[in-house]
Structure 1
């Protein structure tokens, strides 16, 4: 219920306010006008920005890291990742990752030797996140 003012460049015009420009730009893109954001939203932006910088270690990828974007589900629960990493595959020719999010399951399937993995998502932010992660993982 607390709103925080943001200048057009995402600077918080309050004394001793942290620099939120990178986190806001990652989440919202370029700004052209001053705005306000809820404190809850701002705290979420900070958390997402830190996860994106540091990444989330994925044991099924040999300890490689997935870097989730703001608003994209982060792979913090390993059960489903381990399930995909260990379940028998009906085919190594083609697999689908519906609702790919960060692309973590697509990466696990590719690491397991699936020749073609198609990841889909309705959120453009998730698709950009998956592309970035898969490119980073090679």
Structure 2
């Protein structure tokens, strides 16, 4: 394809969401196959970037300025839908993290951490960003603990 039609990364190599400017997270075919509805799947053939900004309407985008909107995903996903599981592999939700933040010891988060290191964790396929949820769970936990 002619380079005139390809969006170049910023000088520092970062790729930003064309709608909100959030730093994109590179994803491979696993999350794309899992989450994008079949009728628009061809927009993102091999790889794309994921926009993690909860209020953005864009889920995935690529260097050719093609976009897959949140409404074009097969199911609701976190962070666009706060009721969707944060953990696509084991179904851990915002409510679960909230309950753990109020507990004396975050036993269920520790269990999730152990599970996330097991062969049952299929983050690269099931997670909308292709990454393990533990970082997001821990950040949310710390945020909720701080608000108590």
TM superposition score category, shorter chain reference: 0.3 to 0.5
For the pair shown, which has the larger CA radius of gyration, 1 or 2? Answer: 1
Q: TM-score, normalised by structure 2?
A: 0.33
Q: Which has the higher strand share?
A: 1
Q: Which has the higher helix share?
A: 1
Q: Per chain length, whose mean CA-contact separation is higher, i.e. which structure has more relative contact order (CA < 8 Å, sep 6+)?
A: 2
TM-score, length-scaled by structure 1: 0.34
